[in-house]
Amino acid sequence: MEIWRDIPGYEGRYQASTLGRIRSLDRRVPVYDSTGRFTRAVRGRILRPGKCRSGHVSVVLGNGKPGSMVHQLICRTFIGPCPKGMEVLHKNGNPCDNRLENLHYGTRTENILDVYKVGKRWRKFSLNDVDRIRFELFCGIPGHEIAKEYAASDATISAIKRGRTYRWYQ
C-alpha cells in the first residue's frame, strides 16, 4: 500500500510516497502579465525523475531550483533528517529503487561495501583489480604500464599506490 506524506520544507506543495515516488499537489502560482499580477491553478501530478550519472534519480522541486535526489527526499520524509556523517544507502544496491523498505542511513564505508557485495563497482576498479594493481606495483612494474593495461591515468594508479584511494580496502 502506498502512503504519501509531505516532504519537510515543502509542506503543502510536494509529497513523497513509500513506493519511492514524488508528487506535486494542487496549488495556485503567481503569474505576471501586462495587466499585473494574478494567480492561476496548477494541478498536482507525479513528477518524472531524471537520471544522474551515478544512476540515482532526481526531481526538481520548485522553479529554478537544483534537482533533489529522490532517495534523500524519501528518507528525510519517512525516517527523519540524515544524521551527521551518514548517507542514504540502498539495501539492494540499485540506485533507482527508492522504495522506503530499500532505504536506510549508514556510513560511507557501509555504502561502498554494499555496492561491492551486490557485485557492482563503486568506481572504475573492482576489488580484484585493486588487489592486482597493488601486487603489480609491489613486483616493481611501473605505474604508467599498469595505467595503460587498465585504461586509467597515471594519477589514478599513483593514488592507489599512495593510499589516497581505496585506503579503506586493505
In the chain, what are the domain boundaries? 4-117, 127-162
SS (H, E, C) the chain: CCCEEECCCCCCCEEEECCCCEEECCEEEEEEECCEEEEEEECCCECCCEECCCCCEEEECCCCCCEEEHHHHHHHHHCCCCCCCCEEEECCCCCCCCCHHHEEEECHHHHHHHHHHCCCCCCCCCHHHHHHHHHHHHCCCCHHHHHHHCCCCHHHHHHHHHCCCCCCCC
List pLDDT tens digits, range 47-98. Answer: 999 988 778 899 999 877 788 999 999 999 999 999 999 999 998 888 899 9
Give domain 4-117's CATH number out of 3.90.75.20, 3.40.1160.10, 3.40.50.11600, 3.30.70.20: 3.90.75.20
Mean pLDDT across 133-141: 93
Report yes or no on whether pTM surpasses 0.75.
Answer: no
